Amino acid sequence: MSKIIASAAIRGASRLVKQAEEMLEKAITEKGADFTFEFPDTAYYMPLIYALTGFAVKNLADMKVALSMAKEQLHSEPEEKIWKPYLGEALDSGMASLFAEEIIMALRYIYGLEPATDPETGYVYNGFITDTIQRNLGIQLVDGTMPGFAAVIGAAPDDDTAVSIIRELQEKNILIFLAGQVNGNSVTKQLLRKGVELGWDTRIVPVGPDTEHTIYPLDWSIRASLIFGGKKPGDFKGHLKYTKDRVFAFALVLGELDDIKWTTGAGAINMGYPAICDTDVPVIHPTGVCIYEEVDKEFDHSKIVQKAIEVRGLKITIEKPPIPVAYGPAFEGERIRKEDMFIEFGGSRTPSFEWVRMKEMDEIEDNKVIVVGDSWKEKYEKGGKMPLGIVIDVAGRKMQKDFESVIERKIHHNINEAQGVWHMGQRDINWIRISNNAKKEGFTLEHLGIINSTMTHTRFKSIVDKVQVTIYTEEEDVLKIQEEARQSYKERDQRLGGLIDENVDTFYSCLLCQSFAPSHVCVISPERLGLCGAYNWLDCKAAFEIDPTGGNQPIKKGELIDARYGRYTGIDEYLRKASGGAVETLNLYTIMENPMTSCGCFECIVAIVPEANGVMIVQRGHTGMTPVGMKFTTLAGTVGGGTQNPGFMGIGRNFIISRKFLAGDGGIKRIVWMTKNLKESLREAFTKRAQEEGVPDLLDKIADEDICEDSEKLLEFLSSVGHPALEMESIL
Ligand code: SF4
Ligand code: ZN
Which domain CATH number covers 396?
A: 3.30.1650.10
Evaluate whether residue 575 is within a structural domain.
yes
Q: Cα of 172 to ligand 1 centre, how many Å?
A: 23
The vertex-447 CA angle with 481 and 477, nearest 5°, equals 15
Q: Cα of 138 to ligand 2 centre, how many Å?
A: 6
Q: Cα of 510 to ligand 2 centre, how many Å?
A: 9
Q: Cα of 534 to ligand 1 centre, how many Å?
A: 7
CA 530 – CA 654 distance, rounded (Å): 10
Q: What's the one-letter identity of residue 347?
A: G
Evaluate whether residue 713 is within a structural domain.
yes
Three-state SS annotation for 203-227: CEEECCCCHHHHHHHHHHHHHHHHH
Confidence check: pLDDT of 2 > 70: no
Tens-digit pLDDT profile for residues 633-675: 899 988 888 899 999 999 999 999 999 999 999 999 999 999 9
- Nearest CA to 601 out of 641, 634, 630 is that of 641
Mutate which of 599, 603, 649 to test ligand 1's pocket (most atoms within 8 Å of Cβ)? 599
Domain boundary among 458, 490, 522: 490
Confidence check: pLDDT of 333 > 90: no
Q: What is the DSSP letter of 286?
A: -
Mutate which of 136, 137, 139, 655 to test ligand 1's pocket (most atoms within 8 Å of Cβ)? 139
Same domain, 484 and 602: no
Total domains, the chain: 2
β-strand 506-510 against 552-556: which pairing, if any? antiparallel
Which atom of ligand 1 lies nearest, measured to the CA of 552? Answer: 4
Same domain, 524 and 477: no
Same domain, 452 and 601: no
Confidence check: pLDDT of 101 > 90: yes
CA 162 – CA 146 distance, rounded (Å): 21
Confidence check: pLDDT of 1 > 70: no
CA 308 – CA 253 distance, rounded (Å): 11
Confidence check: pLDDT of 140 > 80: no
Evaluate whether residue 181 is within a structural domain.
no
Which residue CA neighbors atom 8 of ligand 1 most closely? Answer: 532
Which atom of ligand 1 lies nearest, measured to the CA of 522? Answer: 2
Evaluate whether residue 108 is within a structural domain.
no
Same domain, 415 and 563: no
Which atom of ligand 1 lies nearest, measured to the CA of 599? Answer: 8
Evaluate whether residue 62 is within a structural domain.
no
Please indicate whether residue 544 or residue 144 has the higher confidence score (pLDDT): 544
Domain boundary among 460, 490, 520: 490
Residues 6+ apart with CB under 8 A from 720: none
Partner residues linked to 618 by β-bridges: 605
- What pLDDT does 455 receive? 95
Same domain, 454 and 522: no
The most confident of the ranges 107-121, 231-245, 270-284 is 107-121
**Sign of the alpha-carbon dihedral angle for 474, 476, 480, 482:** positive
Evaluate whether residue 12 is within a structural domain.
no
From the CA of 536, the nearest ligand is: 1
CA 584 – CA 559 distance, rounded (Å): 16
CA 529 – CA 540 distance, rounded (Å): 10
Calculate the CA dihedral of residues 515, 520, 522, 523 and round it to 10 degrees: 130
- What pLDDT does 76 receive? 52
Q: What's the one-letter identity of residue 106?
A: A
Cα separations in angstroms, 503 against 147, 529, 557, 666 = 38, 16, 11, 22
From the CA of 228, the nearest ligand is: 2
Mutate which of 516, 579, 601, 605 to test ligand 1's pocket (most atoms within 8 Å of Cβ)? 601
SS3 300: coil
Confidence band of 237 (pLDDT split at 50, 70, 90): confident
Same domain, 351 and 470: yes
Domain boundary among 431, 464, 490: 490
Evaluate whether residue 448 is within a structural domain.
yes
The lowest-confidence range among 106-120, 180-194, 397-411 is: 397-411
Which atom of ligand 1 lies nearest, measured to the CA of 602? Answer: 8
Which residue CA neighbors atom 3 of ligand 1 most closely? Answer: 532
For the chain, give the number of residues: 732
Q: Cα of 142 to ligand 2 centre, how many Å?
A: 8
Confidence check: pLDDT of 623 > 80: yes
Percent of the chain residues topping a pLDDT of 70: 95
- What pLDDT does 637 receive? 84
pTM as predicted: 0.75
Same domain, 477 and 524: no
Same domain, 695 and 661: yes
Mean pLDDT of the chain: 91
Evaluate whether residue 467 is within a structural domain.
yes
Confidence check: pLDDT of 616 > 50: yes
Same domain, 466 and 595: no
Three-state SS annotation for 355-370: EEEECCHHHCCCCEEE
Q: Cα of 529 to ligand 1 centre, how many Å?
A: 9
Q: Which residues line ligand 1 (CB under 6 A)?
A: 139, 142, 510, 512-513, 522, 530-532, 534-535, 599, 601
Please indicate whether residue 71 or residue 527 has the higher confidence score (pLDDT): 527
Give the residue numbers spanning the domain of 699.
502-727
Same domain, 512 and 638: yes
The lowest-confidence range among 66-70, 160-164, 327-331, 440-444 is: 327-331
Confidence check: pLDDT of 433 > 70: yes
Same domain, 542 and 461: no
CA 387 – CA 381 distance, rounded (Å): 14
Which atom of ligand 1 lies nearest, measured to the CA of 533? Answer: 3
Same domain, 473 and 550: no
Which atom of ligand 1 lies nearest, measured to the CA of 534? Answer: 3
Which residue CA neighbors atom 5 of ligand 1 most closely? Answer: 530
Residue 583 belongs to domain with CATH number? 3.40.1470.10
Q: Cα of 514 to ligand 1 centre, how many Å?
A: 9
Across 141-272, the runs of DSSP E, i.e. the strands, are 149-154, 175-179, 204-206, 249-254
